């Protein structure tokens, strides 16, 4: 502070002694010269705070990685175990979303198409199948993303086009073609407790309604009583339940779990729903999203007066349709809006589907493994080392993922150099963000308002925070904090990182 004050005192002297223009220039240089030690001292003080926190009571049992750099130059501001491999939780989504943004472009849109496999007869009969061809759209039939349509709205649009083509009845079936993507629909490293729930939904090239359904219960009058199963919305044909859900305390929220897997139509329901509400719902993952899309569309066609004689089924064998047989299509919102939802809601399904889209862009089969290789290719192209990077999914649900804090900060710094950076930055959560979900809401305090854009991640014993921060001096920082295996409360972890971000913003 004394050095800065001396510079301020000297600047008018220099200006008066050497003439206005030269004096002002020399005064500015003097201020810059004298400000450098002051900033260096601030950096050093923050580094000491990081080191003190690392050995303090909150992190005494934890592994912690810290990486803070200037977004424009890459100059290091602070670091602690920045090269240590850690479980990143949902902060790892930034790798897949940045790769997709770079490879596909923020204005990319996915298309789902409806084809016929035979000519339409003069009597209005389609003596063949109607095919729903999945194009990898994460948002089909979802209302979460700005500009997307509900499942009913999508179906209504398709039916209008089908009527306009002259089709009055279908003497075949509804075929769901989801073969654009291949491989396992969920990673083998995901916990059994998660699979079957909406946040572990299968990634399918023909996804619909966010690949989820709601299960409604009537909670008991008192804690410990059975919760009665009422219905599902939408109806999932063939779905059966073993209901072991109990009634929890009032205000206890959703503590119910759906135990099932891809292709399984019997689910065991465990856990609790809260006492008090007349009805309470939890969300499950559709066993076969593409087949469900065909089933739901058949019901909607028949309800709209277009009978379908065949049963819904999944596509097999070579495709029997081409561009000249196209009847209708649905176009997704822009990629930037899909990624914004992925960041703000930390939506696992969308990240998983984007990884598979990356594989196709790379000219490889649309599998998760190829998508993750495409993510690594993106890192290499950005000049970021992939040494030690181990990816088992794109969304962060797997505890087998291993990423360095330095890797995530490097990606953020790379993205900050793009011409469309403002759109990318604004896709992240900011203080007071009404569209955000999860524990990151605690960063809504005024000290960071207008200065912070962040992606968080959380698993049991894991917290990740990665994003951008504007300093008091107007410099943009890229930062990452990852903590594993902490034994304190999550609130203490969040408070620690919030305080560090407030300190950083004062540089």
Domain range spanning residue 353?
42-106+336-505
DSSP 378-437: HHHHTT---TT-B-S-SSS--TT-BEEHHHHHHHHHHHTTSTTHHHHHHTSB-TT-TT--
pLDDT tens string 452-485: 999 999 999 999 999 999 999 999 999 999 999 9
Together in a domain, 102 and 202? no
Together in a domain, 355 and 441? yes
Residue 35 has pLDDT above 60, yes or no: no
| H-type alpha helices, 193-274 | none
pLDDT tens string 309-347: 999 999 998 888 999 999 999 999 999 999 999 999 999
**Last residue in a domain, options 299, 333, 367:** 333
pLDDT tens string 372-381: 999 999 999 9
Q: Which residues pair with 245 in a beta bridge?
A: none
Together in a domain, 194 and 273? yes
Residue 442 is predicted with a pLDDT of 57
Together in a domain, 132 and 65? no
Residue 24 has pLDDT above 70, yes or no: no
Residues 6+ apart with CB under 8 A from 94: 408, 411, 412, 455, 466
Q: What is the mean pLDDT of residues 415-429?
A: 97
Residue 23 has pLDDT above 80, yes or no: no
Q: Directed axis angle between helix 490-505 and helix 20-54, to 10°?
A: 160
Residue 435 is predicted with a pLDDT of 82
Together in a domain, 94 and 64? yes
Together in a domain, 78 and 162? no
Q: What is the mean pLDDT of residues 204-215?
A: 98
Residue 439 is predicted with a pLDDT of 55
Residue 445 within a domain: yes
pTM, to two decimals: 0.90
- The chain-wide mean pLDDT, for the chain, equals 92
CATH code of residue 400: 3.40.710.10
Residue 41 is predicted with a pLDDT of 73
Residue 14 has pLDDT above 50, yes or no: no
Q: What is the mean pLDDT of residues 162-173?
A: 97
Which helix (H) or strand (E) element contains residue 375? helix 368-381
How far is 220 from 216, CA to CA, in rounded Å? 13
Residue 147 is predicted with a pLDDT of 85
Q: What is the mean pLDDT of residues 205-230?
A: 98
């Amino acid at each position: 502070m004394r050095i800065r004050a001396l510079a301020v005192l000297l600047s008018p002297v220099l200006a008066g002694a050497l003439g206005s223009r030269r004096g002002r220039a020399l005064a500015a240089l003097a201020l810059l010269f004298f400000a450098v030690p002051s900033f260096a001292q601030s950096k050093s003080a923050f580094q000491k705070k990081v080191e003190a926190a690392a050995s303090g009571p909150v992190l005494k049992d934890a592994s912690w990685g810290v990486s803070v750099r200037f977004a424009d130059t890459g100059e290091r501001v602070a670091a602690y175990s920045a090269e240590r491999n850690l479980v990143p939780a949902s902060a790892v989504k930034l790798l897949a979303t940045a790769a997709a943004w770079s490879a596909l472009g923020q204005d990319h849109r996915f298309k789902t198409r409806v084809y016929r496999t035979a000519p339409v007869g003069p009597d209005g009969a389609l003596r063949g199948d109607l095919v729903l061809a999945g194009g990898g759209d994460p948002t089909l039939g979802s209302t979460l993303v700005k500009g997307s349509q509900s499942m009913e709205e999508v179906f209504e649009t398709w039916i209008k086009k089908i009527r306009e083509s002259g089709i009055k009845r279908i003497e075949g079936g509804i075929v769901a073609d989801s073969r654009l993507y291949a491989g396992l629909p969920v990673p083998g490293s995901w916990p059994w407790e998660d699979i079957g729930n909406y946040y572990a939904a299968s990634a399918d090239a023909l996804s619909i309604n966010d690949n989820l359904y709601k299960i409604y219960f009537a909670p008991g009058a008192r804690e410990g009583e059975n919760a009665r199963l009422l219905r599902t919305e939408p109806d999932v044909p063939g779905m059966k339940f073993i209901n072991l859900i109990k009634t929890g305390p009032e205000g206890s929220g959703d503590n119910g779990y759906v135990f099932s897997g891809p292709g399984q139509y019997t689910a065991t329901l465990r856990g609790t729903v809260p006492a008090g509400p007349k009805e309470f719902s939890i969300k499950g993952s559709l066993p076969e999203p593409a087949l469900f899309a065909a089933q739901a569309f058949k019901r909607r066609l028949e309800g709209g007066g277009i009978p379908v004689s065949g049963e819904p089924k999944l596509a097999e064998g070579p495709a029997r349709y081409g561009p000249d047989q196209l009847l209708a299509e649905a176009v997704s919102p822009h990629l930037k809006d899909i990624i914004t939802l992925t960041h703000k809601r930390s939506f696992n399904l969308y990240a998983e589907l984007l990884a598979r889209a990356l594989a196709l862009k790379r000219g490889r089969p649309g599998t998760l493994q190829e998508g993750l290789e495409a993510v690594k290719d993106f890192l290499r192209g950005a000049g970021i080392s992939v040494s030690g990077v181990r990816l088992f999914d794109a969304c962060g649900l797997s505890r087998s993922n291993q990423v360095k804090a330095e890797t995530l900060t490097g990606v953020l710094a790379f993205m900050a150099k793009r011409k469309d950076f403002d759109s990318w930055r604004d896709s992240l959560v900011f203080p007071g963000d009404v569209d955000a979900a999860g524990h990151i809401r605690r960063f809504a305090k005024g000290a960071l308002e207008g200065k912070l854009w962040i992606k968080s991640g959380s698993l049991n014993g894991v917290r990740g925070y990665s994003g951008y921060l504007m300093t008091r001096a107007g410099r943009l920082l890229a930062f990452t904090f990852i903590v594993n295996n902490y034994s304190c409360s999550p609130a203490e972890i969040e408070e620690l990182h919030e305080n560090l971000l407030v300190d950083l913003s004062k540089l």
